[in-house]
Structure 1
Amino acid sequence: MSVNSLKLDKLPALDRRVSIAPMMDRTDRHDRYFLRLISPSVLLYTEMITTGAILRGDRERFLKFDASEHPVALQLGGADAGDLAQCAEIAAEYGYDEVNLNVGCPSDRVQNARFGACLMKEPEVVAAGVKAMRQAVDLPVTVKSRIGVDDQDSWDDFVRFIETVAAKGCDTFIIHARKAWLHGLSPKENREIPPLSYDKVYRLKQRYPEFSITINGGVTACNEVSQHLAHVDGVMIGRAAYENP
């Protein structure tokens, strides 16, 4: 039976309690295979792969993975709803368990292509992409974002973004608990300098208990995972998992 022939409510729910963040030049198929040897159930994510790379590049190189990696999600970088829908269909054909849209990367190259964290300023564009992917596939479609960008970082801004995207069918959000500065900080500095605001993510879960909320950012120890799980549905671990598997 093909993935596209399944109904969303018949797909097994993914265990989101612990996941490994999508990391450029790190979470390739070799790293994911290694991590799966350590943990049989942690949810794995690919590096961010742009829609252009999938539609016009070496698709097999970017998307091929070993069956042992399941559950594994494909993270897409892009903004065009039609391109995102096509890539979601391709992800389903390859057997991915989830499609995730990157709305958190602040690098200049990503901004120039109009995707990543800069899209937090255009929630309607993100919502259109989510709607197109939801209509194209029965896989879970999720969004990974920051808590804000530049001076657009108030609680009301954050809620507007979440509600706009959720209205088009996304009920699972992975939140890096830092804002992003789109100018003046490197991607590395954007992972370290903006202060963590875990309470803002906890508050989001309290406001929308029906949504699945995964927290990301600054998690380096197992006891921290347990502490976060008292407030949210899942914890995503980044470089700590790569540097100390």
Structure 2
Amino acid sequence: MLDWTDRHCRFFHRLLSTQALLYTEMVVAEAVLHGDRARLLGFDPAEQPVALQIGGSDPAKVAIAAQAGEEFGYGEINLNVGCPSDRVQSGTFGACLMREPQRVADCVAAMKAAVSIPVTVKCRIGVDDQDPEIALDELADAVVAAGVDALWVHARKAWLQGLSPKENRDIPPLDYDRVYRLKARLPDLYVGINGGIKALDEAELHLRHVDGVMIGRAAYQEPELLADVDRRFHGVEGRMRQPREIIEAMLPYIEAQLAAGTPLSHIVRHMLGLYHGRPGARRFRQILTVEGASRNAGVDVLHRAMDTVEEIAAEVAAA
């Protein structure tokens, strides 16, 4: 979810679910060591519970990055061993580490020694010509021996040669049963599943076999999906359901961000799917995308977008 689940996205998603564990976009360990940590790691306390996802392959460096994450207040550190993007491969981390389970284990051990919060790993079932039966077991056994607290598995291979990152999300076939078999073999390991899960009904089915479900793009593109997570999976009634309520709850945050110099477009780009499937959704997206890109755009753009959607909905209802 590089460039997607930034702090503005997470604040928005937290308004829909108080209980779901949110993950940051992947932050490269090297950047944490040498970059602006406040910019890279800073987040609003209202986002909690939130996990920091780190990319790296040097045990010493990922340990320092994990320690920095704990100091900033994250509740979990996740090592990404599943991202197939070109910039990740060029740094020798992400999905290419599926070929080096002992290096991943060394990273986990170093991070566990550096922090007191949970350390988890997100991986694929294999890469390229690897046999998923062997590759996933080898990685899982290595990180379990290193003390990992959970393993999140994207239930498809990553093809590092021949497929783009986007194609790697869709073309390699999903193999949920492979993840189920991993959980059955390692019953004491927390195993979460990811990949192609688009609805909460699907999540309930997966939870018959594994411990957790991670939903990425479906929740981003249709954020209202998150609004029923608390009730269905945590026994807590959600705080708000209607898009207008959610937007109005976002306004104080947006105003504060605008005052700090953040362009409106950086925030509202994460909200484009809020009216997904409703009359006026297309017009809502147009207003936020076009008017929200103006240099001086303010919260009036959101008011105009909401009012337009409601006008269109009223016209549809009266037709």
Aligned: 1:134 with 2:106 = no
Q: Distance in 2 between matches of 1:232 and 1:113?
A: 32
Q: Distance in 2 between matches of 1:157 and 1:196?
A: 16
Choose from 143, 147, 151 the match for 2:129.
151
Note the 1:4-153 alignment, pairs <5 A: 23-153=1-131
In proportion to residue count, which structure has more strand? 1
Aligned: 1:211 with 2:195 = no
Residues 161-208 of structure 1, C-alpha deviations (whole Å, 9 max, x = no match): 110121111131000000000111000000000000000001111111
The ranges of structure 1 where at least 4 consecutive aligned residues each deviate by more than 6 angstroms after the TM superposition are none
Note the 1:219-238 alignment, pairs <5 A: 219-238=197-216
In proportion to residue count, which structure has more helix? 2
Structure 1 residue 154, shift from structure 2 partner: 3.3
Q: Distance in 1 between matches of 2:136 and 2:208?
A: 22
Between 162-171 and 28-37, the greater mean CA deviation after superposition: 162-171
How many residues of Structure 1 are paired with residues of Structure 2 in the alignment?
223
Name the Cα RMSD after superposition: 0.7
Q: Distance in 2 between matches of 1:161 and 1:132?
A: 16
Choose from 188, 199, 203 the match for 2:177.
199
Q: Distance in 2 between matches of 1:85 and 1:227?
A: 36
By relative contact order (CA 8 Å, sep 6+), the higher-ranking structure is 1
Q: Distance in 2 between matches of 1:220 and 1:108?
A: 26
**TM-score (ref. length: structure 1):** 0.90
Q: Distance in 2 between matches of 1:242 and 1:153?
A: 31
**TM-score (ref. length: structure 2):** 0.69
C-alpha contact (below 8 Å) 1:176/1:217 kept by paired residues: yes
Identity of aligned residues (%): 60
5+ unaligned residues in a row in structure 2: which ranges? 224-319
Match of 2:264 in 1: none
Residues 189-237 of structure 1, C-alpha deviations (whole Å, 9 max, x = no match): 0000000000000111111110001000001111101111111000000
C-alpha contact (below 8 Å) 1:99/1:139 kept by paired residues: yes
Match of 1:15 in 2: none
Letter in 1 for 2:196: G
C-alpha contact (below 8 Å) 1:153/1:179 kept by paired residues: no
Q: Distance in 2 between matches of 1:154 and 1:51?
A: 28
C-alpha contact (below 8 Å) 1:219/1:240 kept by paired residues: yes
> Bigger radius of gyration, 1 or 2?
2
C-alpha contact (below 8 Å) 2:193/2:212 kept by paired residues: yes
Match of 1:20 in 2: none
Structure 1 residue 157, shift from structure 2 partner: 2.2
C-alpha contact (below 8 Å) 2:118/2:149 kept by paired residues: no
Letter in 2 for 1:238: G
5+ unaligned residues in a row in structure 1: which ranges? 1-22
